[in-house]
Amino acid sequence: MKVVIIGPAYPLRGGLATYNERLARAFRDAGDEVRLVTFSLQYPNFLFPGQTQFSTEPGPTDLDIEVSLNSVNPLSWYAVGNKLRKQRPDLVIFRFWLPFMGPSLGTVARLVRRNRHTRVVAITDNIIPHEKGPGDRPLTKYFLSACHGFVTMSRAVLADLRRLRFKQPAQYKPHPLYDNFGPLKPKAEAVKALDLDPNFGYLLFFGFIRAYKGLDILLEAFSDERLAQLPVKLIVAGEYYEDAAPYEALITKYNLEQRLVRATDFIPNEKVADYFCAADLVVQPYKNATQSGVSQIAYHFERPMLVTDVGGLAELIPDGEVGYVVPPKPKAIADALVDFYEHQREAEFTAGVWAKKKEFSWEEMVKALKEVAGQ
């Protein structure tokens, strides 16, 4: 089968690009011919909150990546769509995560479908965005109505899809493991690689810092006097995608500076293993969410997790087996963190993570995409 994946990929950086590249390898492993089409311009600079959209690491040499789609230039939409229409791939997979992408991706999808051969499906990270804006619903509907089928990575997104009355074939399939950041390593080795004090335990908040991810809640929880008495520090690893001032105010208010490890720049792929393997527990204090790639990195590195009971996060984290599912409240988070250390739950939860991680395979994702496409 000839497959094209349209969405972020190298030279763009971030979780979406990492996912799409790993998915391409999964199709290739299944015997399919696959290539990626990515953005020459993903976001105009004034819409991008980070430092840069582009990777500084070497690109993958084993993947066929075409850099050609401009999200704001309709001429590029027509060029890409008509090119694919003529090439007649069997399957085109779109990665849809933001209404802003609806016009470009929806137009390409409509043009490709005109060949009456290519099946068009979407991996829909979000139907209703975390940070809502005017025009979200019509832009989203414009894209979704161009697809033959959908795969969602949380049941909440599947429900959103049905609420909008889209009746195309759709499946829920959990986010597969992020197994492309290298092998597990001993905690002591990771702690040393990060130049951390081995006399402390470490909690990890990982990923781009945005309001919905709840770092402010975690900082308030970490100010709890019970935690202050423990030899534990919080690693904040990820780039600010918004104003850092409110977080800095909380750090000052609660006198947390000496209890934090700051790594608030983009974390390159080769350092991801160190941060996860150094952590006792990965904390995701999100205020709202659909699914999270951070959970699947934690599963790969066999790290226990704390997540909040919002969106689809709890679907993948059995409470009391691989970690904690708690309300997005400082007291609830603090209580769980104190329980983790006081009752020495790391070994118990790690065993649970090891057993659960076997459920999240890329082969199952490939199978689901083909099924909703009718292939």
Rounded CA separation 175/126 (Å): 13
pLDDT tens readout for residues 306-332: 999 987 788 889 999 999 999 999 999
Closest CA to 317 of 351, 352, 346: 352
What is the pLDDT, as a whole number, of residue 19? Answer: 94
| Domains 2-176+360-372 and 187-359 are alike in CATH topology | yes
Rounded CA separation 160/180 (Å): 30
pLDDT tens readout for residues 173-187: 999 998 989 999 999
What is the pLDDT, as a whole number, of residue 47? Answer: 58
The enclosing H or E element of 273 equals helix 269-278
Beta bridge partners of 122: 94, 150
What is the pLDDT, as a whole number, of residue 228? Answer: 96
pLDDT class for 286, splitting at 50, 70, 90? very high
Rounded CA separation 84/73 (Å): 17
Q: Give Cα 14 distance to the centre of its chain.
A: 8
The ranges assigned to domains in the chain are 2-176+360-372, 187-359
* Per-residue pLDDT at 167 exceeds 70: yes
C-beta atoms surrounding 362 within 10 Å: 18
pLDDT tens readout for residues 46-103: 655 555 667 777 889 999 999 999 999 999 999 999 999 999 999 999 999 989 999 9
What is the pLDDT, as a whole number, of residue 75? Answer: 98
User: Which comes out higher in pLDDT, residue 188 or 241?
Assistant: 188
pLDDT tens readout for residues 191-224: 999 999 999 999 999 998 989 899 999 999 999 9
Q: How far is CA 110 from CA 84, 104, 127, 141, 144, in A?
A: 11, 10, 19, 13, 11
Rounded CA separation 172/169 (Å): 11
C-beta atoms surrounding 46 within 10 Å: 6
User: Which comes out higher in pLDDT, residue 14 or 289?
Assistant: 14
C-beta atoms surrounding 113 within 10 Å: 19
User: Which comes out higher in pLDDT, residue 109 or 15?
Assistant: 109
Mean per-residue pLDDT of the chain: 93
Handedness of CA 75, 76, 82, 83 (dihedral sign): positive
Architecture in CATH of 187-359: 3-Layer(aba) Sandwich (3.40)
Asked whether 142 and 106 are in contact (CB, 8 A), the reply is: yes
Architecture in CATH of 2-176+360-372: 3-Layer(aba) Sandwich (3.40)
pLDDT tens readout for residues 348-359: 999 999 999 988
pLDDT class for 139, splitting at 50, 70, 90? very high
What is the pLDDT, as a whole number, of residue 358? Answer: 85
Give the angle 210-219-310 at the CA atoms, nearest 5°: 55
pLDDT class for 34, splitting at 50, 70, 90? very high
pLDDT tens readout for residues 111-122: 999 999 999 999
* Per-residue pLDDT at 123 exceeds 80: yes
Phi/psi-derived region of residue 88, left when phi > 0, alpha when psi is between -120 and 50, beta in every other case: left
Helices (H) and strands (E) in the chain, counts: 14, 13
Helix 102-113 to helix 136-144 angle (10° resolution) is 20
- Give residue 106's identity as a one-letter amino acid code: G
